[in-house]
Amino acid sequence: MKKDEIARQYSKALFEIGEEKDILMELYKEINELWGVINENDKLKEVLLHQRVLVEEKKAVFKTVFSDKLSKQLFEFIMLLIEKRRIYFIENMINEFKKLVYKKENIMTAEVTTAVDMNPEMKENLQEKLEEYVGKKIEMHNKCDPEIIGGMIIKIGDYLIDGSIKSKLESLEEKIKKIPLHEIGV
């Protein structure tokens, strides 16, 4: 079985658990937090994802670290992944689960790049405007890039809105380069 197909099957199973128990968004947030913890801890990640570590050892480590920190449903689900030797596909499974949740909950991701950090009020206002614009809930990710000088760049799905000063200056530069020198008396 291919890695993507395995990930799809398990993500669909977790999705169905979430829908059945009416905890879909809670599972989504929880599994993302779990993956963040695993991803940030190299030793934990190595134990859980290394193929030479025995299943019983993985289960023992996972139980010690997470038994009282996760919902019963997610804890049992991850233990099943470990037992069935499918924990190696957890990142792909989480990505597939995210797609299912976003489709069901009508959510889109927006990546917003600004020259400086936006304050919480600005973020909230921008998120509201974007949700109004696309007619969906927006999960907004903000990053800073001082090289854009000012303004912002917004990427939603396949759409890119570049309102940065850097792009305006580059566009102006291109227009100036296209002006024939004899027309301006040079």
Mean pLDDT over each residue of the chain, to the nearest integer? 93
Q: In sequence order, what are the residues at sequence separation of 6 or more whose Cβ sits closer than 8 angstroms to the Cβ of residue 111?
A: 140, 141, 143, 154, 155, 156
Give the CA dihedral 9, 11, 13, 15, nearest 10 degrees. Answer: -140
* CATH 3.40.30 location in the chain: 106-178
pLDDT at position 1 over 80: no
For 106-178, which CATH class?
Answer: alpha beta
Gap between the Cα atoms of 5 and 2, Å rounded: 5
| pTM, to two decimals | 0.78
Q: What is the pLDDT of residues 98-149, one digit of tens each?
A: 999 999 999 999 999 999 999 999 999 999 999 999 999 999 999 999 999 9
Band of the pLDDT at 184, cuts 50, 70, 90?
A: low
Query: What fold, for 3-103?
Result: Peroxidase; domain 1 (1.10.520)
Gap between the Cα atoms of 5 and 70, Å rounded: 26
Asked if 60 and 16 touch (Cβ cutoff 8 Å), the reply is no
* CATH 1.10.520.20 location in the chain: 3-103
Distances (CA, A) of 80 to 13, 16, 49, 150: 11, 15, 14, 49
